[in-house]
Structure 1
Amino acid sequence: MDKIKGLFLSVEQSFSLLFLLKWTFICLLIGSFTGSTSAVFLWTLEWATNYREANMWIIALLPVAGLVIGLSYHYFGKSVVKGNNLILDEYHEPKNIIPFKMAPLVFIGTILTHLFGGSAGREGTAVQIGGAIADQFSKLFKLTNLDRKIVLVAGISAGFASVFGTPLAGAIFALEVMVIGRVKFDAIFPSFLAAVFANYFCDVWHISHHTHYTISTITDLTPAAVLWSLLAGIIFGLVSMLFSKSTHFWGNLFKKYISYPPLRPVIGGIVLALTWYLIGTTKYIGLGVPTIVDAFSIDLNSYDFFLKLLFTSFTLGAGFKGGEVTPLFFIGATLGNALVWFIPMPMPLLAGMGFVAVFAGATNTPIACTIMGIELFGIESGVFIALACTTAYLFSGHSGIYSSQFIGSPKHLFFNDEKGLQLTEIENKRKKKSL
């Protein structure tokens, strides 16, 4: 019997070794290509931001940029226009390899959006680039549908980790984002490996850098501090839900009244360019990193978070390209900055909690966002960040920026009838009930 057990164990470890070797090779390829592309993307994005800030007249051409983006997706990118949701769809119901053209289209579209004054982020772009690059290896190595799912997870992980410099959060984000309330553990090794490789190859080029944020002051972990953290988390969750619903609202509005897709970002660009001219500031354009940094140390306008929410949801709803996460960082950090007026906790701590908690509520990834907060700010604030992220996740409800997410485990038993449904199906179901 002992010999049989020993033989079984040796066979099991042999298969584990083969699994390790196989995915180390594949993830090295995914990580090197995705990380290198992210480095070029970050460098180009920084150039676009600096050029726009030095040549403000270029914002007047935002409608032209919108036309270029709209036409390129209408005539060349209809198969990839769903962006991140296409990756989620292919994960849940594998049909076709994600076209590689998704990567250059979203790369160029995002740079144009930032160069000419749109309000957007970079995570969505990095994830789409990672997913598109990774899925090409599914075709190259003739992988099964089960292995292809792992490849897509690795691609998302690589894109996220390399663009933010957070390999642990990137790996967990990819595992957590696919299904709300479920984590794909059979992809855990490839996800972490792809994240580590991608982060390394992004840094090794030395052509881009990641912004560093600091929580300079925390507070003692008392029962009162825990309760205040829960209150802050509730507010962060409600705002993340507002952001998700606003993005979908603007997208549906443009589709309803403008039937020709390339015209949507043109109209949106005209509105945004005029708005920037009238308010006389570029504070809410692009990533908004300087304002995010300021949120940790100085008093800001109490309405900054709402204006960024409004302009970003409008920009993306109109059809411009870019991510949502860095704007969510902006919204969360400035909201946390504003909460200091009635929540007796240090401003840097509230800003850091909001930074990741609004993101957690909008993407339904509380574990990844908690880890991201620890990676960015240190373990000292980890408990407060965890409280804020998990509470925000709960109070954001069954909503999110990724409409193709499935409910694997409802956030409350009251919503158990929504288990197994996509967020878009839930939204449609609720609309019918309200009619």
Structure 2
Amino acid sequence: MIAGFIIYRFAPEAEGHGTDAVISAFHQARGVIQGRVPIIKVIASAITIGSGGSAGKEGPIAQIAAGAGSVLASHFKLSDRDRRIMMVTGMSAGIASIFKSPLGGALFGIEVLYKRDFEMGAVVPAIMASVIGYALFVHFTGPDPIFLTCQCAFDDPLELPFYALLGLTCAAIGIFYISLFYSTRDKFFRRLRIPNHLKPAIGGLGVGVLILLFPDASSGILGPGYDALQDALLGNITLSVMIVLIFAKILATSFTVGSGGSGGVFAPSLVIGGMVGGVVGEVSHIFFPNIITNPTCFVLVGMASFFSAVAKVPIASILMISEMTGSYALLVPLMLANVASYAFTERWTIYESQVSTRLRSPAHRKELLVDVLEGIKVKDAMNPHPLSVSPDDKLRKVFDLMEKTGHMGYPVMKDGKLIGMVTMKDLEKVPMEEWDRRPVKDVTTTGLVTTYPDESLEDALHKLVLLDIGRLPVVDRRDPKKLLGIITRSDIARAHVKAMAGDVLASRRKHAVSSSPIYGTRIFEVYIPPHHWMIGKKLADIRLPAGIIIAILREEGIIIPRGDTMIEAGDRLVIFSPEDRVDGIRRYIGL
């Protein structure tokens, strides 16, 4: 309860497992972590873990060290890109130090941001910072590895199928762990109608009940659980206790961190994975004693394989576990089990702020943008069959047509030739009571600015913005009176998104939507996080201020929305708007 009060009173961002908060700040907040967060995280995590909460030091140290990097970058007025690198560098150094894993910590920082990618721009500074942090830490604490192990070795290829089975088992248990963790948080604790600062106390009560039910497993349930894990690595724990610990640790971590307590999920994941490995190793030894001669080796491999499954860090987890135990003897089994668990849990992750690749991260939106407008011709985006009106039609007919179709402008045609355009602005020049008798030719705009089918959309948009008009007639270069179609700003914006999602170019960049202004307009993207007020609402009911949602990006692909399209958590809304209205739209949405 004390930890909950401190968190929710002074820094709500410090709740939960800090690594996910760092990932979110990297992708969604320009790498900005408020200066108060590291301080509150230190205090709240010490209380949570010290009082027996099932959590580890990885999350707090990641957020504390990343926060220090972010604050320093802001103090020295570095760019957003450099601030993000400083944040990742701090996280890597913190992990490398606290777990005595310099190479694993460096790779953890650059790998944990994505499910299937690395933050390559941070590799060199992350390695340098990890080496320095590790050197300083071991100077005061000594170089001994975190865990002691029996003499493990891989010398029989017949063991490999059993390690592959361990990887698949870790994948299955990992999916169960992730599902239960977020179900506990979202369907229980967030629905409790009590003050937020009291919820960690309820979580602590749940951990206490588990201790009463399973006293023999208490060393693994309380705190990080490293005592039980050390016993498993030395073969000093029974099969029944390991089975109990798998599920008790999952529940205890869900209660502790899911309730809003401050702590990491790395240590609990190692304990769960180690117990899964121990169970698979012991059972395999019982049935195949001549092949599996040292079942404790499976504990070490299970630690890495399980964390690979739930955190999407298959490379970093191999190195971290090897460095934490001081042994690279099981490198081949580690590789096999990690790949198996990672491959079968591709879309599942304990870090919900992870994105698939750099292409999905707003942090890399500008550098990965390809200006497809230059490569698309007007003829590929125009409406080739626009409605038209005659110069003798009455203005009332034009207005009725506008109400029916929603289009605010039409070409005026006479004898198959384009003579001008009529828009709502033209109608407004005439009193409404005269619309029934005044003809279109009285308000027709002549001397039109036109575009051609072989012009680029960038050129067409340039004309639209400079003249502050909504549409351009598309005409034949050899015959400017021959109308071939109409192109609007919405047509251009939709073509921009469709092109990125639909062709070979877009297969690599389909989510790289521009956030840069294009001739006074902006095509930008808005991420809808869980629990956002727009979730479950129809697009027509949201009533956005002047701006056009031209696409919704989801995991399954791109959606061109209609008024009855429902907004879902995780949606990325692609919005086309005048540049001076972007801030208003963002404020309305709640960013």
Q: TM-score, normalised by structure 2?
A: 0.56
Aligned to 2:268: 327
Please, which moves more after superposition, 96-105 or 274-283? 274-283
CA distances 1:231-266 after superposition (whole Å, capped 9, x unpaired): 110111221222222221111120012352112112
Residue 312 of structure 1 pairs with residue 253 of structure 2: yes
Alpha-carbon offset, residue 79 of structure 1:
4.1
Instruction: In structure 2, list runs of 5 or more residues that go unmatched.
Output: 360-506, 512-526, 531-553, 557-566, 572-591
Conserved? CA contact 2:103–2:127, under 8 Å: yes
1:303 counterpart letter in structure 2: V
Conserved? CA contact 2:281–2:296, under 8 Å: no
Residue 106 of structure 1 pairs with residue 41 of structure 2: yes
Alpha-carbon offset, residue 84 of structure 1:
2.7
Aligned to 1:10: none
Change (3 A) 1:207 1:381: closer
Conserved? CA contact 1:240–1:361, under 8 Å: yes
Higher RCO by CA contacts (8 Å cutoff, separation 6 or greater): 1
CA distances 1:293-335 after superposition (whole Å, capped 9, x unpaired): 1112234223222211121122111122111111111111111
Alpha-carbon offset, residue 95 of structure 1:
4.2
Conserved? CA contact 1:406–1:423, under 8 Å: no
Residue 384 of structure 1 pairs with residue 384 of structure 2: no
* Structure 2 SS opposite 1:91: helix
CA distances 1:188-237 after superposition (whole Å, capped 9, x unpaired): 10010111111112222339975223242334242x32222211101112
2:327 counterpart letter in structure 1: G
Give 1 or 2: higher helix fraction.
1
Please, which moves more after superposition, 398-407 or 84-93? 84-93
Change (3 A) 1:273 1:199: same
2:112 counterpart letter in structure 1: V
1:229 counterpart letter in structure 2: Y
CA distance in 2, matches of 1:225, 1:391: 15
Change (3 A) 1:294 1:429: farther
CA distance in 2, matches of 1:374, 1:77: 35
2:336 counterpart letter in structure 1: L
Residue 288 of structure 1 pairs with residue 225 of structure 2: yes
CA distance in 2, matches of 1:125, 1:409: 25
Within 5 A, what are the aligned runs for 1:215-254? 215-222=150-157, 224-252=158-186, 253-254=188-189
Alpha-carbon offset, residue 89 of structure 1:
2.1
Aligned to 1:276: 211
Conserved? CA contact 2:7–2:15, under 8 Å: yes
Change (3 A) 1:409 1:144: closer
Conserved? CA contact 1:180–1:406, under 8 Å: yes
Aligned to 1:363: 311
CA distance in 1, matches of 2:142, 2:156: 40
Residue 147 of structure 1 pairs with residue 82 of structure 2: yes
* Structure 2 SS opposite 1:404: coil
Conserved? CA contact 2:529–2:570, under 8 Å: no
Please, which moves more after superposition, 278-287 or 99-108? 278-287
CA distance in 2, matches of 1:430, 1:357: 29
Aligned to 1:214: 149
CA distances 1:95-120 after superposition (whole Å, capped 9, x unpaired): 47311222121211122122222111
**Among 299, 309, 322, the residue aligned to 1:351:** 299
Within 5 A, what are the aligned runs for 1:63-78? 67-78=1-12
Please, which moves more after superposition, 79-88 or 247-256? 79-88
Give 1 or 2: higher strand fraction.
2
CA distance in 2, matches of 1:332, 1:390: 15
CA distances 1:143-174 after superposition (whole Å, capped 9, x unpaired): 11111121111011011111100010000011
1:77 counterpart letter in structure 2: A
CA distance in 2, matches of 1:148, 1:96: 6
CA distance in 2, matches of 1:303, 1:274: 14
* Structure 1 SS opposite 2:161: helix
Change (3 A) 1:337 1:181: same
CA distances 1:353-373 after superposition (whole Å, capped 9, x unpaired): 001111111110001011223
CA distances 1:409-428 after superposition (whole Å, capped 9, x unpaired): 99xxxxx99x9699978699
Change (3 A) 1:220 1:79: closer
Residue 338 of structure 1 pairs with residue 269 of structure 2: no
CA distances 1:273-301 after superposition (whole Å, capped 9, x unpaired): 34424543532111221211111223422
Instruction: Kindly name which structure, 1 or 2, has the bigger radius of gyration based on alpha carbons.
Output: 2
Please, which moves more after superposition, 141-150 or 262-271? 262-271
Residue 182 of structure 1 pairs with residue 96 of structure 2: no
Conserved? CA contact 2:178–2:310, under 8 Å: yes
| RMSD of aligned residue pairs (Cα, Å) | 2.9
Change (3 A) 1:116 1:356: same
Overall identity of the aligned pairs, in % = 25
1:361 counterpart letter in structure 2: A
Change (3 A) 1:206 1:430: closer
Conserved? CA contact 1:405–1:423, under 8 Å: no
Conserved? CA contact 1:295–1:333, under 8 Å: yes
Conserved? CA contact 1:403–1:422, under 8 Å: no
2:103 counterpart letter in structure 1: L
Instruction: In structure 1, list runs of 5 or more residues that go unmatched.
Output: 1-66, 411-415
1:147 counterpart letter in structure 2: D
